[in-house]
Amino acid sequence: MMRNAGYVNRFARITRLMEKIMAEMTLIDAIRQAMDEELARDPRVFIVGEDVGPRGGVFRATMGLHAKYGGDRIVDSPLAELSIIAIGIGAALDGLHPLCEIQFADFIHPAFNQIVNEAAKFYYRSGGTWNVPMTIRAPYGGGISGGLYHSQSLEALFAHVPGLKIVIPSNPYDAKGLLKSAIREPNPVLFFEPKKGYRLIKGDVPDGEYTVPIGPAQVTREGTDLSVFAYGMMHYYCLQAAEQVAKEGIRVEVVDLRTILPVDKQTILESVKKTSKALVVHEDTLTMGYGAEVAAIIAGEAFEYLDGPVMRLGGPDVPAVPFSHSLQDWFMPNPQKIAEAMRKLARY
């Protein structure tokens, strides 16, 4: 009996050990794991947002955390985004590391003034005396039949505000590493999560401590014929499109920007120097989307290396992502549309 129990125990320990090394998980799980580890590591970290407490968040991002850390650290807010952010700013100025959740990025607009006029400017305005180590998490993007108020992409709006940092992960490994970095960042960070990928995008995530630095982009697929720059859900699609056109002999280099502000110019320019053709893909509407900034950087600083026009692929310039399935499909870039854009540029 004793020997059997020991045998079983030994195996259980080995299995548990192997699970700890690397686990495949979804994007949302990786995000939750990051928050869990930071809450455990740093008592100054707390979460505030709508339905984050016992409910565990509408996307289950904070599931189990209220039970683990209590209502003092996982705080349900009223339906008042301005207050969520304002509370965060106040707490941050007082030395805490708030992690504010905006339930859908579409709802962030009432807090726009707080973010742009207050959070972004405190450090600058106080000559470095006061800083706001606040992280704002918000699911963004369409493709889940969310319609007008559950599908917006807002990175372009906020990328225009110096004083903020903007991070958009495209895979579970980066999501966990970047969120940890964001929470530790002494400045306000907007962490936009591609909600369509919450459960769709899976990947291996090591257990335990690691971070991914805010700033550097990553070349996720090497190529020679053209470079495509993307982030979030679109990066996931770009990898698929690149795989498709590789069968036709077009070798695409895919770059995951990861940090929108400050953007990794060096990686962008190095890639363009190598392939001489650039395509930027985002699901946000095309005009004044973030692609315009990337295109301007390339045109301005890699002009002599270009063998073709800098192209952008984005959503059509309509006031909102449509609710009807067919119109939503018309709006959203997908691997087929991206592949077609790649072919066109490669042919030039």
Q: Which residues are catalytic?
A: 150
Question: Is residue 276 a contact residue for other proteins (CB under 8 A)?
Answer: yes
Question: Is residue 330 a contact residue for other proteins (CB under 8 A)?
Answer: no
Site for other proteins in 214-233 (CB under 8 A): none
Question: Is residue 149 a contact residue for other proteins (CB under 8 A)?
Answer: no
Question: Is residue 348 a contact residue for other proteins (CB under 8 A)?
Answer: yes
Q: Which is nearer to other proteins, 72 or 304 (CB)?
A: 304
Q: Which is nearer to other proteins, 207 or 307 (CB)?
A: 307
Q: Angle, to 10 degrees, between the axis of helix 265-275 and the axis of helix 290-301? A: 60
CB of 276 to other proteins, least distance (A): 5
Per-residue HEC secondary structure of 285-311 comes to ECCCCHHHHHHHHHHHHCHHHCCCCCE
Q: Which is nearer to other proteins, 203 or 308 (CB)?
A: 308
Q: Which is nearer to other proteins, 147 or 308 (CB)?
A: 308
**Residue entry with tokens 């530790």:** 184
Strand partners for 305: none
Backbone angles phi, psi at 221, to 5 degrees: -150, 125
CB of 309 to other proteins, least distance (A): 9
Question: Is residue 248 a contact residue for other proteins (CB under 8 A)?
Answer: no
216 contacts: CB under 8 Å, gap ≥ 6? 258, 259, 264, 267
- Rounded-to-integer distance, Cα 143 and Cα 117, Å: 32
Q: In what order do the strands lie in the sheet with 189-194?
A: 74-76, 45-49, 97-101, 135-140, 189-194, 165-167, 259-261
Please name which of 112, 116, 119 lies closest in space to residue 134, comparing C-alpha atoms.
119
Task: Kindly determine how many residues on this chain lie close enough to bind other proteins according to the rule CB under 8 A.
Answer: 9
Give the count of alpha carbons within 13 A of 20, CB side only: 8
CB of 154 to other proteins, least distance (A): 34
Site for other proteins in 300-329 (CB under 8 A): 303-308
CB of 342 to other proteins, least distance (A): 15
- What's the full length of the chain, in residues? 348
171 vs 122, 200, 261, 313, 343, CA distance in Å? 32, 10, 18, 21, 25
Scanning 61-69, 92-100, 152-160, 297-305 for contacts with other proteins by CB under 8 A, the matching segment is 297-305
- Rounded-to-integer distance, Cα 348 and Cα 11, Å: 60
CB of 267 to other proteins, least distance (A): 19
Q: Which is nearer to other proteins, 202 or 273 (CB)?
A: 273
CB of 313 to other proteins, least distance (A): 18
- Whether 265 contacts 315, CB under 8 Å: no
Q: Which is nearer to other proteins, 19 or 307 (CB)?
A: 307
Please report, as ranges, the residues that interact with other proteins according to CB under 8 A: 276, 303-308, 347-348
